[in-house]
């Protein structure tokens, strides 16, 4: 099975990439290529919805972490949701993803994103000294 990546805007600050198939040595260059638009535009958050991802290898892990690094280097973050058990196991073995960036369901993720956006709106910006 090949890899599929479908990117959409959740809102003005968040892009969601729904990933399906396999992320391995063969498909990771395609993933890097397709995800790059979401990493370099003005969004603050990129969500990887891994609902259809059935397999990940070390090459795929590297791609996910390159994406995380790209988001963090512009002051944003990469969040994961719907990680399937067999993929979750690989993430856990390499202890490579902070748990606070992984969400069990879209509902849980939505609550977090809404909370963060509200917090952002409520906090006074550019407070003068």
Partner 1 sequence: MNEVRLEFPNLESEYEPARDRLIDLFRDSGLSPEAIGELELILEELLVNVISYAYDEPGTGTIHVSASVQGKAVTLEVRDRGCAFDPLGREAPDLDADIEDRPIGGLGIYLVRELATSVTYERVGDENVLRVERR
Binding site for partner 1 (CB under 8 A): 24-26, 54-55, 57-59, 61-62, 65-66, 69, 86, 90, 93-96
Distance CA 69, CA 62 (A): 10
Pairing status of strand 14-23 against strand 3-11: antiparallel
Q: ∠54-20-95 over CA atoms, to 5°? A: 55
Nearest-10 crossing angle of helices 28-40, 58-73: 10
CB of 76 to partner 1, least distance (A): 17
Nearer to partner 1, 92 or 114 (CB): 92
CB 128 → partner 1: shortest distance, Å? 37
Q: Which is nearer to partner 1, 51 or 59 (CB)?
A: 59
| Least spacing, CB of residue 61 vs partner 1, in Å | 7
* Cβ closest to partner 1, residue 98 vs residue 124: 98
Distance CA 109, CA 115 (A): 10
């Amino acid at each position: 099975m090949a890899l599929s990546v479908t990117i959409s805007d959740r809102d003005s600050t968040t892009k969601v990439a729904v990933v399906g198939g396999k992320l391995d040595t063969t498909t990771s260059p395609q993933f890097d290529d397709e995800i790059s638009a979401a990493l370099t535009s003005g969004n603050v958050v990129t969500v990887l919805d891994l609902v259809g991802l059935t397999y990940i290898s070390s090459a795929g892990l590297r791609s996910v972490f390159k994406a995380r690094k790209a988001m963090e280097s512009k002051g944003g973050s990469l969040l994961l949701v719907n990680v399937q058990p067999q993929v979750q196991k690989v993430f856990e073995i390499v202890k490579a993803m902070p748990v606070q960036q992984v969400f069990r369901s879209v509902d849980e993720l939505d609550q977090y994103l809404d909370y963060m956006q509200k917090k952002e709106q409520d906090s006074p910006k550019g407070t003068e000294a």
